[in-house]
Every structure is written in C-alpha cells, then in structure tokens.
Amino acid sequence: MDSDKPPKQPFWSKRPQILKNDWVAVALFVAGVVALYFFMSFFIIRSYVVEGQSMATTLQNGDRLLINKVPRTLARITGNNYIPRRGDIVIFNQSGLFAGSTSQKQLIKRVIGLPGERVVVKDGTLSIYSQDHPGGFEPDKTGLYSIANATTPGDVDITLKAGEVFVCGDNRNNSEDSRYFGPLKAEQIVGKLTLRFLPLNKAQRF
C-alpha cells in the first residue's frame, strides 16, 4: 500500500516557496511599521528638537521633545479651531521669517494671548485685556508658568481675532515671536509640548 503513495519531495524543493512567503510577510510587516510611523507622526505624536535659546531657561538648545497632536487632529476632524490654553507651549509653522523668503520654519513658543483678547506690550510689561479682566492683567505673574525674565521688550497693541493666539518665547530678550510676526492662526499649530525626554536628567512632563 505504501508503494501507491507518491514519493515525498525533499525539503529543499519547497524552500523557494517558503522563502517567497517569508519575504512577503517581512515586506508586509515593514510596510505596516512605516504606515504606522507616518500615521502617528501626522496625527498623534511626533518628536521635536529645540533649536536656539528663545525658550530658555524652560527649554534649552538641543532638548528633545514629544509633541501631542491629538487635540489638533480632533479639532480638524470636527471642523473646529484648535485653541491651546494660556501657558501651553506649542509647535507651529511660520513663514516670512527671512526677507524675500516664503519658506516655512517650525518654531516653539508659549501661548500668552487668546482669541478676542487685547494684548499690550509697553514699557517692558505684557498685559492682557479681556471681558473677564477689563482693567488688564499680567499673565507672566499669574503663576500659570514661570520664566526667568518677565521683562518684555517691544511696543505692541493688538486685539486678537477668532482663531488667533499671541505667542512669546520665555527668553523675552531673545525671541522672534508674535511681537515680530503678529498673531498665530490656529491652523498653523502643529501640536502641544507634552514631554521633554532628553537629556534624561531634565526629563519633564508639561
């Protein structure tokens, strides 16, 4: 009876098919990892490296950060503007920083003024005027955040429109921010700082 059975094929005759299946699996796995990376980067979370000293001493040149993009993503899905809270540190796209150039650069700054508020910078002081504070208040002194030098150079008097925020670097004497390029539109915001993970001895949640 055994003689009626077809002879067994040697294992090496099946190897090309096995290799083919293995390569397909590897290719699908790699494609899945790449797709997941881009999905996470565009819609959920991404890394960012600080360049310059405009956010010193809160953040230093070379610090590595994680940026939370979920609130912005959800706002866009629902057709709303993503407006961070006062004191939040955000990453955003900004163009026109260099004369004759329309290229964009990503910057990191702190949200100081919110839609509908009047922002005044005068005599080294930054003040916010709103319905809740018609007489004005100084956000740098509210305890929402801490900066090394609360003196703010410049001469600004602007009322923010819907979907606009006013941003400043914590290093007010060395920061190119809304005092220079004006209010930030909600659609420019990439995400909110959530974690500094390097250097390890300065790891911090925000």
Buried b / exposed e over 134-146, threshold 16 CB at 10 Å, is: eeeeebbeeeebe
Contact (Cβ atoms closer than 8 angstroms) between residue 84 and residue 111: yes
- The residue among 117 and 24 whose pLDDT is bigger is 117
- The residue among 96 and 83 whose pLDDT is bigger is 83
Output the pLDDT for position 103: 79
Please provide the CATH number assigned to the domain covering 46-205.
2.10.109.10
pLDDT by residue (tens digit) across 158-182? 999 999 999 999 999 999 999 999 9
Domain boundary assignment for the chain: 13-43, 46-205
Confidence of residue 97 (pLDDT cuts 50, 70, 90): confident
Helices (H), 137-197: 178-181
68: which residues sit within 8 A by CB, 6+ positions away? 44, 45, 191, 192, 193, 194
pTM: 0.80
Give the residue numbers marked as catalytic. 54, 109
